[in-house]
Chain A
Amino acid sequence: MVNKLLKLWPPLAVLAIVVLGWQAAVVLFGTKEYVLPSPLVIASTVMKEAPRLLEHTSATLGITLLGFIFGAAAGFLLAALLHLIPGAKAGFYPLLVLTQNVPVMALGPLLVIWFGFGLMPKIILLTIVCFFPISVAMLTGLTKSDPKLLSYMRMIGASKSQLFWRLELPHAIPYLFSGLKIAASYSVISAIYAETIGGSEGLGVYMRLSMRGWQTANMFAAIAVVITLSLVLFGIIFALERLFLRGTARSSKGE
């Protein structure tokens, strides 16, 4: 634990220097607030706007979590199915990449046309964005089981389902968490984009309104909230990973 805290020091120190330099530069050059607000102004804006920010953040958080959970479930199921159904991976895996090649800018408006301005198109958009890194990471984990363990399990007569539940799935868990971490970062950014294509609440809407009104400080306040949100989500998944893999962390690689 002490080690962890020591590791946090260097980035925090760099961050502090950057913020101080920023503050000094804005004061020194007399930069106008609508061009670049100083950290102090941003902090006071966060305080002032706290009630509105909180309201919009909870809307964004709702979409993010729903989309992330659907995406994670879809990614997990898809990886398991592609792995377990013979031939499915060969047929579908290359096509999965196609879903990621459709620009989100095009997908968003299309989903609004098909599903209206409600929650539905946003959740679908997030699911599409989130499932991919999870599926790909987990499929890698499922197919890369240790050959000597695989051969042992087959020699003692493990059935296909026993192979999956007792060897391949546990082996894929660290891979699954890598996918979840990537998807978590994507999900917050995608949720904010999804809110800008239709709807009346959320940090995406707040940011768009701030920009229209040249309220740059509000924009920066929202950015600070988004970064915090992403970090918290990432931290939760990191903590879950630790909990799942305790005891085996050192041996999950190598050997």
Chain B
Amino acid sequence: MRLALEIDAVSKIFPGEGNAAPKFVLDRLSFNIKDGEFVTLLGPSGSGKTTLFHIIGGLEQPTTGDIRLYGESTLGKRGEIAYMPQQASLMPWLTVARNIELALDIAGVGRKEARTLSRDWLERVGLAEVGDAYPHVLSGGMQQRVSFLRALLSPQPLMCLDEPFGALDALTRMQMQTWLLSLWEQHRRSVLFVTHSIEEALLLSDRIIVLSASPAAIVREVEVPFPRPRGELIWSDPLFNALKREIYELLRPAELNAGGEKKEGGADGKLREPYSVG
């Protein structure tokens, strides 16, 4: 099996400014993504996921370690991944179709091909009528659909999605998850996905990598057993809830685990809200 991405013992330490202590962000992180696999990084805020993305995207160098895409080291090389950021990041002066063409153009796709690709796909995903609209008339969910399409059409084999639904309301977010799921299951691109939401991770991924807070280190890898194609139905599967609880336990802050129930008081944690909903 070919490996789409290998993260090999990557550490990142930011030197402290002035007298401040150096900031240890990533601690010898190692994992990989097989070709066509959907892998999710799940961790608390500030666990260095953005830094890891910047390293994979070539914007930053790791302090130690190596990044390989399909066997080749890409340290400091930009433009090797298809990328979808948390905020839609569409140019407000370009129409939706032109925005997609811009990304493809930068990725090295010819202008003509970019144009036909963006037209075809906007129609295929039911966004044909907004192709000539400017982004500001679109809702947040629509903008994220365009942003996802832009990454999906980029020719780089690995897609990196950085908390793509983090800024959406809960309902839109659920719709987006199933939309992305159905699109992805048709195409099976290699995906590195970042989220705070356990449910989102369980619904979408083949494998979940649970990270600890700073410095980020891998707490555990969870294989997600649900068969594909998946749908909303797995939300009511008992196994889904069991896994959700299990992962939530891994993510609970240390003092709550040790000192026990400071906030909720319930002895077995039954009443506790999940770590993050939707």
Contact = CB atoms under 8 A, between A and B. Distances in A.
Contacts of A171: 93
Nearest to B59: A154
Interface in A143-176: 148-149, 151-158, 162, 166-167, 170-171, 173
A148 B90 CA distance: 10
Nearest to B102: A166
Contact of B92 (A152, A154, A162, A255): A255
A248 B98 CA distance: 13
Nearest to A171: B93
B85 A166 contact: no
Nearest to A252: B92
A149 B85 CA distance: 10
B47 interface: no
A252 B59 contact: no
A248 B134 contact: yes
B62 interface: no
Nearest to A173: B93
Interface stretch (B75-83, B112-120, B187-195, B241-249): B75-83
A148 B85 contact: yes
Interface in B62-104: 78-83, 85, 87, 89, 91-95, 102-103
B154 interface: yes
Nearest to A150: B89
A153 B106 contact: yes
B53 to A, nearest CB: 8
Nearest to B57: A155
A156 B107 contact: yes
B208 to A, nearest CB: 23
Given A148-B89, A152-B85, A157 B78 contact: yes
A212 interface: no
B107 to A, nearest CB: 7
Interface residues of A, number: 23
Chain B: interface size category:
20 to 34
Given A152-B83, A157-B78, A251 B106 contact: no
Given A162-B106, A251-B134, A251-B136, A157 B79 contact: yes
B44 interface: no
Nearest to B162: A155
A156 B106 contact: yes
Contacts of B91: 149, 166-167, 170
Contact of B83 (A156, A247, A251): A156
Which of B54, B58, B78, B135: most chain A Cβ within 10 A? Answer: B78
B59 A155 contact: yes
B75 to A, nearest CB: 14
Contacts of B106: 153, 156-158, 162, 166
Which of B94, B136, B154: most chain A Cβ within 10 A? Answer: B136
Contacts of B135: 251
Nearest to B79: A157
Contacts of B95: 247
Contacts of A170: 91, 93-94
A250 interface: yes
Contact of B93 (A148, A152, A248): A248
Contacts of A156: 78-79, 81-83, 103, 106-107, 154
B83 A155 contact: yes
A252 B103 CA distance: 20
Which of B81, B82, B134: most chain A Cβ within 10 A? Answer: B134
Given A156-B107, A166-B106, 9 more contacts: A148-B89, A151-B89, A155-B53, A155-B83, A157-B107, A158-B79, A162-B106, A170-B94, A248-B136
Interface of A: 148-149, 151-158, 162, 166-167, 170-171, 173, 245, 247-248, 250-252, 255
9 contacts: A148-B89, A151-B85, A155-B54, A155-B57, A156-B82, A158-B106, A245-B93, A248-B136, A252-B93
- Top 7 nearest A-B pairs by Cβ distance? A157-B79, A251-B136, A251-B92, A152-B89, A157-B78, A155-B57, A155-B83
